[in-house]
C-alpha cells in the first residue's frame, strides 16, 4: 500500500513537470534608421560649391600623388672612425691639461650629388669615445659649421679612466634635428663634408697621469636616418618613372547602367616645387571599369611628349612651384567618355627627370621645407549628371540574433519613407545572403523613390515623398535566422537624361520603420 | 471539455504530489495531541494567484501552448491600473525523532527538515501586460506607463534541524539557506511614448535589476527559521481550542556578487544614423548609450517566507464540526495580508474534510477545500486553497496542497 502511494507520487512527479513551450505573438512598430543625405554636407568639405543660381558646382583640387623627396636628396647612414694619440713618446699630464685638440672632416658619399649646405629635418649622430688612460678624461665634441639659432653644436662628456686593453667608454647620442650644416669643409671650398672637433682634457680634479703615444683616444661617429628639409648644391641627374594606380572603391558598387555628364572642365597639373629644372612626360591616364570590363585612356595632344618643367621660384616660405598644365573640357579629347566610363580604377603613367641637362644651375639647386613634386587634378564644372538605370549595390553585415530563440521575427514589413529633392529616383531590392554569401531570398520594394522636379523659379527641386515597403512573409522570416548579410541593390534614374542640375536644396531624407510580428517563446 | 477539467483538477492536486509537492501547512492542521512516535512528514504546496490574470492565460504558462492574439488582447484589456501576481511551490520534508532530549522536558525531541522552495511575486501596471503580450502597435499615439512595476523570483534550498514537542506538535528549526536562483526588477520610473506613425519613440526609465551570479555552485547563503507553536486553550482533555503560530522560511540571505544593473535613461529615438548601422558590429556601445550600468554587488534580501497566526482544529475535539480562522503574511512585496476562515467536519476518526474562504494575498476572494485520511501510522491530506480555480478558466489562480505523514 505504502509503496504504491510513493510510486504514484513519483509517476505524478515526472508527468507533472513535463510542459510544452509557451508562445505568443506581439506587433511592434519601431523606427530603425533615420538619416539624410544632404548635398550641403559636401559643400563644406570644399568638393562642391553653390553657384548664385543655387546650382551645385564641382570644385575639386585633389593631389593624385607626391614624389618622395628623400629619393631625390638622400643622405645614407654613415660611420666614421678616427684615432687620436700624442706625437711624442710620453707626456706627464697635470689635472685639467688639454692634450688633444683636433678637427677632422667626414666625407659623405653621394653618387652624383654635391651638397654645399643642408638643414637636417631629423636624424641622430651617435658618438663613441674611448679613454685609455687611468684617470677620467673630459671629451668636448663639437661640430664646426653645424649651427642652430646661431650656436655651434657642442657637447661635453666625462669618460671614466681605463687601460689600453680595456678603455673607459663614453657614448653620446646627438639629435641633429634643426641644425644647418655647412658642408664646404674647413676651407669653405669643398662639398659633402661634415667637420668634427675633439678636445680631450685630463680630469681637472684628478691626479697627474702619464700618457704615451701607445694610448689611443678613439672617436667614432655614426650618422643615422638623416632627413633634409633644406639643401643647396647640385642634386644630380635624377629620373623617376612609375605607373600609379588610384582605386575608387565606391565606384565598384556600380554594377550597371549609364551616366551622362555635361559641361565638363578638368585640369591635370604637374607641379615642381624644387629649384632645379626638369622634364616631365604623362604616358598614360586610363579609366578602368572592372565590373563592366571597359577601359578608356584619356586623350590629350601633349600626352606622351617630353615637356620642360621649370625650376620653382622664390625661397623658403615664398617658394612657388612651376606648373605644367593639361586642360580638358567637353570639346577637347574624350574626357566625357572617360568619366562616363565610371572607372573604379585609374592608372597614371609618368616620368620626371631632374637636371636633364646636368649642373645648369652651377650648384644652386635648392629645396625647401615646402618643396615637393607631384600631380594634381583640378575640376570646376556644374554638377549636371543624368542617370539611366544606374545600378548600385552594396552588402552590409547583419545578425538578427534569432539564435536567441526567445524572440523571433514571424512576419511583417519594413517601410522606407523618403523625402527626396534630388533629380534622381530609385527602385530598391534587398537580397538576404547566408554565411557563404549565397542568396536566400530577394525582396523587391513595393513602390520606389520618385525623382524630384524643379520648381517654377528654377532654383530648387520640389520635395517628393515616397514610401517603399518590403514584405516579410513567414517563409522569409524563417530565412532571417540564416541571414548573415544583406545586399542592397538600387537602380537610379534621373528626371531627365541630360542636364539634370543639382540644386543646393538637394537632399534625401529617409526613415526605415519595422512593422513586425514577433514570436516570443519561453 | 470534461477531460480537460479532470486533467486540470488532477494536475492541480498533483502540484503537491509532483515537483510542486507541498502541503498542509497552508490548510488547517488537524492537531493530534497524543504522544507521537518517530515521524516522516512530507508537505507541499503550489499556487498561482493574481488580482487580474485569469487562469485561461496563466495556464498557458503552466501547461504550455500558444497564447492567441484575441486572448492576449482580452487579458490586456482586463488589467487594472494596479495588479498583483504571485506563484511558487514549496516542498518540505521533515523527520521527527522520539528520543527524549531534556530530562526536565520529556516531550521534547530532535528533528531535521529540508525545504525546496520557489517563489514569484510581481506588481505591474495594465500597460505592461499590453506591451509584453500584444506589442506597441495598440499604443501608437499614446504614452505607456510601467512605473511601479516590481517583480522578484527566488529559488532556494534550506536544510536545518531543531526541536519538536511530541505532544503539542510545536517545533522550531534553524535552517541554512542556499539560494539557487534569484531575479529582481524594480521600476521606479518608466514610461514609453509612441508617435502616431511609430517613427518616434520616447522613453524614460529608472530601474534596478538584480540577478544571481553565474556561478554554478555558490550563489549566496542565508538563514531561516521554521516553527509551529500550538498553544491550547479550553478543556485540557480535548484541547478544544488551539492557537497556532506558524512561520516558514522566515529569514534572510545574501546574493553573493550579484549582477546589479542600474538603468537610468531618457531616450528620444527616431532611428539610428545609417553609419551606426553599417559600421557597428558590436552593439555593446549602444547598450551603454541606453544608460545601463552593470556591476557586481553582494545584496541582502528577506526570504519569501510567511508568518501565520490563527485557530487550528483538534483531532480529538468532541464536536464533529470545528471552526478555524487566522491571518497570514508573506515577506514579499505585493502580498497583502490574507485573512482566512473555515469549517472542519470530522464524521469519523479516520476521515475529515473542510472548507475555507480567504481574502487577500496576491488575489482577492478564494474558496478552499481539503480532505484528510488517517490510519494508525499513515496520514494523507490533499486540498486546494482555490477550488474554483481548479476547474474554471475564468478564475484567477490555482492551488494544490498535500501532506503525507508516516509514523513508525
- Residue A14 belongs to some domain of the structure: no
pLDDT at B25 over 70: no
Pick from A81-85, A192-196, A306-310, A416-420: least confident: A81-85
What's the predicted TM-score (pTM) here? 0.68
Q: Which of A329, A354, A382 is the last residue of a domain?
A: A382
Chain B closest CA to A10's CA: distance in Å?
7
Chain B closest CA to A381's CA: distance in Å?
30
- Residue A401 belongs to some domain of the structure: yes
Please indicate, yes or no, whether residues A97 and A213 belong to a single structural domain of this protein: yes
* Predicted local confidence at residue A100, as pLDDT: 86
Considering chain B, what is the average pLDDT of its residues? 86
Please indicate, yes or no, whether residues A398 and A501 belong to a single structural domain of this protein: yes
* Predicted local confidence at residue B281, as pLDDT: 56
Buried b (16+ CB within 10 A) or exposed e, B322-338: bebebebbbbbbbbeeb
Burial of B31 (0-12, 13-18, 19+ CB in 10 A): buried
Q: Which of A219, A234, A249 is the last residue of a domain?
A: A234
- Residue B404 belongs to some domain of the structure: no
pLDDT at B375 over 50: yes
Chain B positions in Cβ-Cβ contact with residue A16 (cut-off 8 Å): 11, 14-15, 17-20
Rounded (10°) angle between helices B69-78 and B55-63: 130
Cell numbers found for residue A509: 531624407
Chain B positions in Cβ-Cβ contact with residue A522 (cut-off 8 Å): 61
- Residue A435 belongs to some domain of the structure: yes
pLDDT, mean of residues B202-208: 94
Structure confidence by residue, pLDDT tens digits, B226-237: 999 988 876 655
Considering chain A, what is the average pLDDT of its residues? 87
**Alpha-carbon separation of residue B136 from A23, A473, B202, B284 (angstroms):** 17, 20, 12, 25
* Predicted local confidence at residue A59, as pLDDT: 86
Please indicate, yes or no, whether residues A433 and A321 belong to a single structural domain of this protein: no
Chain B positions in Cβ-Cβ contact with residue A396 (cut-off 8 Å): 277-278
CATH number of the structural domain spanning residue A267? 2.60.120
- DSSP for A492-504 reads EEESSSS--BPBT
Pick from A273-282, B178-187, B305-314: least confident: B305-314
* A-proximal residues of B, 2-21, CB under 8 Å: 11, 14-15, 17-21
* Predicted local confidence at residue B27, as pLDDT: 58
How far is C-alpha B395 from the geometric centre of its chain's CA atoms? Answer: 18
Q: Which of A234, A249, A281 is the last residue of a domain?
A: A234
- Residue A49 belongs to some domain of the structure: no
List the single best residue of B46, B66, B74 to mutate versus A (max A Cβ within 10 A).
B66
| Contact between A25 and B64 using a beta-carbon 8 Å cutoff | no
| Chain A contact for B274 (CB, 8 A cutoff) | yes
pLDDT at B128 over 50: yes
Please indicate, yes or no, whether residues A208 and A250 belong to a single structural domain of this protein: no
Q: Report how many domains make up chain A.
A: 3
Give the DSSP letter of residue A275: B
| Contact between B198 and A513 using a beta-carbon 8 Å cutoff | yes
Residue % of chain B over a pLDDT of 90: 64
Chain A closest CA to B185's CA: distance in Å?
19
pLDDT at B273 over 90: no
| Chain B contact for A30 (CB, 8 A cutoff) | yes
Q: Find where cell 505568443 sits.
A: A24
The top-scoring range by mean pLDDT among A442-446, B136-140, B265-269 is: B136-140
Please indicate, yes or no, whether residues A346 and A489 belong to a single structural domain of this protein: no
The more confident residue out of B3 and A320 is A320
* Predicted local confidence at residue A16, as pLDDT: 52
Question: Which residue, among A380, A381, A379, A378, has the nearest Cα to A270 in the 3D structure?
Answer: A378
Q: Find where cell 534622381 sits.
A: A424
- Residue B407 belongs to some domain of the structure: no
| Chain A contact for B380 (CB, 8 A cutoff) | yes
Chain B closest CA to A38's CA: distance in Å?
13
Tell me the pLDDT band of B11, cut-offs 50, 70 and 90.
Answer: very low
* A-proximal residues of B, 42-101, CB under 8 Å: 60-67, 69, 72
Please indicate, yes or no, whether residues A366 and A428 belong to a single structural domain of this protein: no
The residue in chain A having the minimum alpha-carbon distance to the alpha carbon of residue B8 is A16
pLDDT at B6 over 70: no
Please indicate, yes or no, whether residues A166 and A77 belong to a single structural domain of this protein: yes
List the single best residue of B22, B57, B64, B379 to mutate versus A (max A Cβ within 10 A).
B64
Please indicate, yes or no, whether residues A302 and A426 belong to a single structural domain of this protein: no
Tell me the pLDDT band of B5, cut-offs 50, 70 and 90.
Answer: very low
| Contact between B135 and A27 using a beta-carbon 8 Å cutoff | yes
Please indicate, yes or no, whether residues A289 and A400 belong to a single structural domain of this protein: no
Chain A positions in Cβ-Cβ contact with residue B406 (cut-off 8 Å): 2
Q: Report how many domains make up chain B.
A: 1
* Predicted local confidence at residue B220, as pLDDT: 95
* Predicted local confidence at residue A6, as pLDDT: 42
Structure confidence by residue, pLDDT tens digits, B329-356: 999 988 999 999 999 999 998 899 999 9
With beta carbons less than 8 A apart as the criterion, state whether A16 and B8 touch.
no
| Chain A contact for B199 (CB, 8 A cutoff) | yes
The boundaries of the domain holding residue B339 are: 2-399
Please indicate, yes or no, whether residues A396 and A286 belong to a single structural domain of this protein: no
| Contact between A30 and B198 using a beta-carbon 8 Å cutoff | yes
pLDDT at B300 over 60: yes
Structure confidence by residue, pLDDT tens digits, A378-432: 888 888 888 888 888 888 887 766 555 678 889 999 999 999 999 999 998 989 9
How many beta-carbon contacts under 8 Å exist across A and B? 114
- Residue B408 belongs to some domain of the structure: no
Chain B positions in Cβ-Cβ contact with residue A512 (cut-off 8 Å): 271
* Predicted local confidence at residue B276, as pLDDT: 74
* Predicted local confidence at residue A160, as pLDDT: 93
Buried b (16+ CB within 10 A) or exposed e, B221-236: ebebbbbbbbebeeee
- DSSP for B23-64 reads -GGGS--EE--SPP-SEEEEEEEEEEEESS--HHHHHHHHH-
pLDDT at A316 over 50: yes
pLDDT at A308 over 60: yes
Cell numbers found for residue B4: 480537460
Give the DSSP letter of residue B217: S
| Chain A contact for B192 (CB, 8 A cutoff) | no
* Predicted local confidence at residue B16, as pLDDT: 31
pLDDT at A2 over 60: no
pLDDT, mean of residues B244-273: 92
- Residue B405 belongs to some domain of the structure: no
Please indicate, yes or no, whether residues A316 and A413 belong to a single structural domain of this protein: no
* Spatial distance between the Cα atoms of B183 and B45, rounded to a whole number of angstroms: 22
Chain A positions in Cβ-Cβ contact with residue B281 (cut-off 8 Å): 397
| Contact between B278 and A396 using a beta-carbon 8 Å cutoff | yes
pLDDT, mean of residues A60-68: 82
Cell numbers found for residue B290: 541606453
| Chain B contact for A250 (CB, 8 A cutoff) | no
The residue in chain A having the minimum alpha-carbon distance to the alpha carbon of residue B65 is A22
Chain B closest CA to A178's CA: distance in Å?
43
| Contact between B271 and A25 using a beta-carbon 8 Å cutoff | no
- Residue A48 belongs to some domain of the structure: no
Q: Find where cell 620642360 sits.
A: A308
The residue in chain B having the minimum alpha-carbon distance to the alpha carbon of residue A20 is B64
Nearest to A26 among B11, B134, B281 (CB): B134
| Contact between A26 and B198 using a beta-carbon 8 Å cutoff | no
pLDDT, mean of residues A75-95: 86
pLDDT at B20 over 60: no
Chain A positions in Cβ-Cβ contact with residue B11 (cut-off 8 Å): 16
| Chain B contact for A511 (CB, 8 A cutoff) | yes
Tell me the pLDDT band of A261, cut-offs 50, 70 and 90.
Answer: confident
Please indicate, yes or no, whether residues A38 and A174 belong to a single structural domain of this protein: no
Pick from A22-26, A42-46, B247-251: least confident: A42-46
Residue % of chain A over a pLDDT of 90: 45
With beta carbons less than 8 A apart as the criterion, state whether A489 and A431 touch.
yes
Chain B closest CA to A237's CA: distance in Å?
49
Chain A closest CA to B272's CA: distance in Å?
5
- Residue B10 belongs to some domain of the structure: yes
Question: Which residue, among B107, B105, B89, B88, has the nearest Cα to B97 in the 3D structure?
Answer: B107
- Residue A13 belongs to some domain of the structure: no
pLDDT, mean of residues A310-324: 94
The more confident residue out of A48 and A288 is A288
pLDDT, mean of residues B136-147: 93
Cell numbers found for residue B216: 554554478
| Chain B contact for A10 (CB, 8 A cutoff) | no
Chain B positions in Cβ-Cβ contact with residue A25 (cut-off 8 Å): 69, 72
Pick from A72-76, A127-131, A265-269: least confident: A72-76
- Residue A7 belongs to some domain of the structure: no
Nearest to A511 among B61, B271, B404 (CB): B271
Chain A closest CA to B169's CA: distance in Å?
24
The boundaries of the domain holding residue A145 are: 73-234
* Predicted local confidence at residue B14, as pLDDT: 33
The more confident residue out of A385 and A317 is A317
Structure confidence by residue, pLDDT tens digits, B106-123: 899 999 999 999 999 999
Chain A positions in Cβ-Cβ contact with residue B65 (cut-off 8 Å): 20, 22-23
Buried b (16+ CB within 10 A) or exposed e, A464-477: bebebbbebeeebb
* Predicted local confidence at residue B15, as pLDDT: 32
Amino acid at each position: 500500500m505504502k509503496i504504491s502511494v510513493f510510486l504514484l507520487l513519483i509517476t505524478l512527479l515526472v508527468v507533472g513537470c513535463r510542459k510544452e513551450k509557451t508562445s505568443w505573438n506581439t506587433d511592434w512598430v519601431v523606427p530603425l534608421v533615420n538619416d539624410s543625405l544632404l548635398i550641403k554636407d559636401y559643400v563644406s568639405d570644399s568638393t562642391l560649391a553653390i553657384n548664385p543660381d543655387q546650382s551645385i558646382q564641382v570644385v575639386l583640387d585633389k593631389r593624385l600623388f607626391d614624389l618622395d623627396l628623400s629619393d631625390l636628396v638622400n643622405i645614407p647612414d654613415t660611420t666614421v672612425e678616427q684615432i687620436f694619440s700624442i706625437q711624442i713618446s710620453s707626456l706627464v699630464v697635470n689635472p685639467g691639461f688639454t692634450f688633444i685638440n683636433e678637427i677632422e672632416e667626414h666625407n659623405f658619399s653621394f653618387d652624383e650629388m654635391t651638397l654645399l649646405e643642408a638643414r637636417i629635418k631629423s636624424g641622430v649622430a651617435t658618438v663613441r669615445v674611448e679613454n685609455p688612460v687611468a684617470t677620467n678624461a673630459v671629451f668636448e665634441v663639437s661640430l664646426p659649421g653645424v649651427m642652430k639659432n646661431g650656436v655651434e653644436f657642442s657637447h661635453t662628456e666625462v669618460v671614466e679612466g681605463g687601460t689600453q686593453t680595456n678603455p673607459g667608454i663614453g657614448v653620446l647620442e646627438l639629435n641633429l634635428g634643426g641644425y644647418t650644416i655647412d658642408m664646404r669643409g674647413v676651407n669653405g671650398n669643398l662639398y659633402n663634408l661634415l667637420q668634427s672637433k675633439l678636445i680631450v682634457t685630463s680630469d681637472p680634479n684628478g691626479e697627474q697621469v702619464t700618457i704615451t703615444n701607445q694610448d689611443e683616444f678613439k672617436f667614432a661617429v655614426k650618422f643615422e636616418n638623416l632627413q633634409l628639409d633644406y639643401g643647396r648644391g647640385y642634386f644630380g641627374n635624377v629620373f623617376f618613372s612609375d605607373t600609379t594606380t588610384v582605386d575608387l572603391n565606391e565606384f565598384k558598387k556600380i554594377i550597371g547602367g549609364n551616366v551622362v555628364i555635361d559641361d565638363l572642365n578638368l585640369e591635370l597639373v604637374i607641379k615642381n616645387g624644387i629649384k632645379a629644372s626638369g622634364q616631365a612626360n604623362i604616358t598614360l591616364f586610363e579609366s578602368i571599369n572592372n565590373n563592366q570590363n571597359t577601359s578608356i585612356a584619356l586623350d590629350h595632344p601633349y600626352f606622351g611628349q617630353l615637356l620642360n618643367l621649370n625650376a620653382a621660384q622664390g625661397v623658403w616660405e615664398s617658394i612657388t612651384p612651376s606648373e605644367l598644365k593639361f586642360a580638358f573640357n567637353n570639346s577637347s579629347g574624350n574626357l566625357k567618355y572617360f568619366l562616363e566610363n565610371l572607372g573604379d580604377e585609374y592608372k597614371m603613367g609618368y616620368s620626371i627627370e631632374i637636371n636633364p641637362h646636368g649642373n645648369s644651375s652651377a650648384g644652386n639647386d635648392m629645396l625647401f621645407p615646402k618643396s615637393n613634386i607631384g600631380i594634381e587634378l583640378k575640376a570646376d564644372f556644374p554638377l549636371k549628371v543624368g542617370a539611366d538605370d544606374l545600378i548600385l549595390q552594396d552588402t552590409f553585415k547583419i545578425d538578427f540574433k534569432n539564435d536567441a530563440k526567445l524572440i523571433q521575427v514571424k512576419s511583417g514589413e519594413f517601410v522606407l519613407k523618403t523625402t527626396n529633392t534630388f533629380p534622381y529616383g530609385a527602385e530598391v531590392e534587398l537580397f538576404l545572403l547566408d554565411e557563404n554569401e549565397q542568396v536566400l531570398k530577394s525582396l523587391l520594394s513595393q513602390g520606389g523613390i520618385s525623382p524630384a522636379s524643379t520648381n517654377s523659379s528654377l532654383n530648387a527641386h520640389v520635395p517628393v515623398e515616397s514610401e517603399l515597403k518590403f514584405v516579410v512573409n513567414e517563409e522569409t522570416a524563417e530565412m532571417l535566422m540564416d541571414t548573415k548579410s544583406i545586399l542592397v541593390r538600387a537602380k537610379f534614374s534621373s528626371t531627365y537624361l541630360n542636364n539634370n542640375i543639382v540644386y543646393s536644396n538637394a537632399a534625401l531624407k529617409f526613415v526605415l520603420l519595422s512593422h513586425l510580428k514577433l514570436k516570443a517563446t519561453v | 471539455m470534461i477531460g480537460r477539467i479532470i486533467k486540470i483538477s488532477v494536475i492541480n492536486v498533483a502540484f503537491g504530489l509532483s515537483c510542486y509537492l507541498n502541503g498542509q501547512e497552508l490548510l488547517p492542521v488537524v492537531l493530534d495531541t497524543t504522544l507521537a512516535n518517530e515521524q516522516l512528514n512530507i508537505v507541499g504546496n503550489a499556487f498561482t494567484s493574481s488580482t487580474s490574470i485569469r487562469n485561461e492565460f496563466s495556464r498557458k504558462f503552466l501547461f504550455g501552448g500558444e497564447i492567441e492574439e484575441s486572448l492576449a488582447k482580452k487579458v490586456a484589456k482586463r488589467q487594472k491600473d494596479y495588479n498583483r501576481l504571485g506563484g511558487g511551490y514549496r516542498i518540505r520534508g521533515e523527520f521527527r525523532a522520539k528520543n527524549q532530549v531534556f530530562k526536565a522536558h520529556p516531550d521534547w525531541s530532535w528533528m531535521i527538515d529540508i525545504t525546496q522552495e520557489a517563489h514569484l511575486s510581481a506588481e505591474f501596471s495594465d500597460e505592461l501586460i499590453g506591451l509584453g503580450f500584444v506589442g506597441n502597435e495598440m499604443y501608437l499615439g499614446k504614452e505607456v506607463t510601467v512605473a511601479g512595476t516590481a517583480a522578484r523570483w527566488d529559488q532556494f534550498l534550506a536544510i536545518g534541524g531543531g526541536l519538536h514537542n511530541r505532544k503539542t506538535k510545536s517545533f522550531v528549526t534553524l535552517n541554512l539557506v542556499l539560494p539557487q536562483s534569484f531575479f529582481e526588477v524594480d521600476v521606479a520610473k518608466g514610461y514609453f511614448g509612441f508617435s502616431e506613425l511609430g517613427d518616434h519613440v520616447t522613453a524614460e526609465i529608472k530601474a534596478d535589476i538584480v540577478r544571481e551570479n553565474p556561478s554554478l555552485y555558490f550563489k549566496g547563503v542565508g538563514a531561516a527559521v521554521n516553527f509551529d507553536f500550538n498553544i491550547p486553550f479550553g478543556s485540557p482533555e480535548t484541547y478544544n481550542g488551539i492557537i497556532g503560530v506558524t512561520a516558514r522560511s522566515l529569514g534572510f540571505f545574501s546574493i553573493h556578487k550579484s549582477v546589479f544593473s542600474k538603468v537610468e535613461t531618457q531616450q528620444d529615438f527616431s532611428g539610428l544614423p545609417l553609419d551606426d548601422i553599417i559600421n557597428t558590429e558590436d552593439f555593446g556601445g549602444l547598450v551603454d548609450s541606453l544608460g545601463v550600468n552593470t556591476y557586481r554587488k553582494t545584496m541582502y534580501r528577506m526570504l519569501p517566507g510567511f508568518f501565520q497566526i490563527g485557530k487550528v482544529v483538534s483531532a480529538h475535539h468532541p464536536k464533529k464540526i470545528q471552526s478555524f480562522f487566522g491571518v497570514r503574511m508573506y515577506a514579499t512585496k505585493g502580498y497583502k495580508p490574507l485573512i482566512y476562515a473555515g469549517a472542519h467536519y470530522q464524521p469519523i476518526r479516520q476521515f475529515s474534510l473542510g472548507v475555507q474562504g480567504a481574502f487577500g494575498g496576491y488575489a482577492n476572494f478564494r474558496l478552499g477545500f481539503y480532505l484528510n485520511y488517517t490510519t494508525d501510522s499513515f496520514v494523507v491530506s490533499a486540498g486546494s486553497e482555490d477550488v474554483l480555480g481548479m476547474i474554471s478558466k475564468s478564475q484567477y489562480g490555482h492551488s494544490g496542497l498535500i501532506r503525507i505523514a508516516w509514523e513508525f
